Structure 1
Amino acid sequence: MIYLIAGPSHTGKTLLAQKLLERHHIPYLSLDHLKMGLIRSGTIALSPTEDEALTAVLWPIAREMVRTALENRQSLIVEGCYIPYRWQQDFSPEERAEIRYLCLVMSRDYLLRHFTRVRQYANVVEHRLDDSDFTLDTALTDNAEALHQCRLHRLPYLLIENEYPREIDL
């Protein structure tokens, strides 16, 4: 089984992937790690904040890694904000039957009430060197857009509204 965990920055994608790894012993691919490897190696000349351009580079690589895992009947978790909302178009119905997708989205009210806490949990799994571009305004905009896109493309999402769920299973 393949698990795709998507969503805006700071919604808990990496933490969920880490918990799934620990619970089910399924390896995960962090698209942020892939992004930074490509940037730091000089393979791509993009900055870490060029999301659309990064998606255009990262998704084809991740997509083919998913295909390889499917062909080999291996389980894999792929997490990151670089999974396009149109991801289903890239797979056959048979392949899609082996893929579970979830987009984590924080509601406007949740962010307004808990933004300071969200920032405090930013380094639970990974340590961000520079998190200055993550503001309440960017969080509100990015989460509203993610919710809109999930509804538009009829994708499953978990809307975090009151308390952050302790357990999320796909």
Structure 2
Amino acid sequence: MKKLSGYGIIMKTTGKEPRLTMIILITGASHTGKTLLAQKLLKKYKYPYLSVDHLKMGLIRSGQTELTPYDDDKLTAYLWDILKEMIKTAIENEQNLIVEGCYIPFNWKESFDADYLPQIKYICLIMSESYINSHFSDIMNFGNVIEKRLSNDLSIEELIQDNQKYLRCCLRYGLDHFLIDDEYDLEKCFI
């Protein structure tokens, strides 16, 4: 295996055509554009993506858990146990995968041996307080661009608090994040 400098990707050399394996984790507060970015990457790279919200609702509706959509902290621990093993399986099978959702813990790196980490790229989408204050109505209007939300009763204060929490945690854990401050342009994102 050969590491490609600067890309965090492993080139698999098995005698046949080399493959690049990449897992992309996309997280952030509600309404930051996680699903939109995953859709853009699907079109650009042809990588499949998994919506953690779909997994969550499938497990809840099928009765596999008694947790509800409002049990955020408990859902993060519950879903991450499943997601981390799916990610390991994808890497072991040399399959690319995008995982998007808010249920990715900030200490996610602790779940993987050193051999896995170079193949996982993490990005957290964060909106600044000034961006939210200036664009709140746009944020709410675009909340249904990719997915149909049943409820859109998020307040500006909640949105600011959630984004500030994500920023604090990204800084605390040294995680990559994309700050949406001036304009909303995911094309400027790392990918």
Tell me which interval the TM-score lies in, with the shorter structure as reference length.
Answer: over 0.9
Q: Give the percent of matched residue pairs that are identical in Structure 1 and Structure 2.
A: 50
Which string of whole-angstrom CA distances, capped at 9 and with x for unpartnered residues, describes residues 15-52 of structure 1?
A: 00011001110000000000111111121112212110
Determine the C-alpha separation between the residues in 1 that align with 2:64 and 2:158: 28
1:92 positional shift = 1.3
Q: Find the counterpart in structure 2 of residue 152 from structure 1.
A: 172
- What SS does the aligned partner of 2:47 have? coil
Equivalent of 2:107 in 61, 86, 102: 86
Equivalent of 2:118 in 81, 97, 106: 97
Answer 1 or 2: which has greater strand percent: 2
Determine the C-alpha separation between the residues in 2 that align with 1:146 and 1:153: 11
Q: Find the counterpart in structure 1 of residue 62 from structure 2.
A: 41
8 Å CA contact 2:29, 2:162 repeated in 1: yes
Determine the C-alpha separation between the residues in 1 that align with 2:176 and 2:143: 24
Q: Which runs of 5+ in 2 are unaligned?
A: 1-21
2:151 maps to amino acid: D
Determine the C-alpha separation between the residues in 1 that align with 2:122 and 2:186: 19
Query: What TM-score does the superposition give when structure 2 sets the normalisation length?
Result: 0.86
1:57 maps to amino acid: Y
Q: Find the counterpart in structure 1 of residue 161 from structure 2.
A: 141
- Tell me which structure has the larger Cα radius of gyration: 2
Equivalent residue pairs, number: 169
Equivalent of 2:182 in 133, 145, 162: 162
Determine the C-alpha separation between the residues in 1 that align with 2:186 and 2:45: 17
Determine the C-alpha separation between the residues in 2 that align with 1:73 and 1:147: 32
1:4 maps to amino acid: L
Which string of whole-angstrom CA distances, capped at 9 and with x for unpartnered residues, describes residues 57-109 of structure 1?
A: 11111111000000001000000000000001111121000000000000000
Q: Find the counterpart in structure 2 of residue 74 from structure 1.
A: 95
Q: Please, what is the CA RMSD of the aligned residues?
A: 0.9
Runs of 4+ in structure 1 deviating by more than 6 angstroms, as ranges, are: none
1:131 positional shift = 2.3
Q: Does 1:62 align with 2:49?
A: no
My pick for the range that moved more, 59-68 or 159-168, is 159-168
Q: Does 1:20 align with 2:28?
A: no
Which string of whole-angstrom CA distances, capped at 9 and with x for unpartnered residues, describes residues 125-166 of structure 1?
A: 11011222x211110110000000000000000010011014
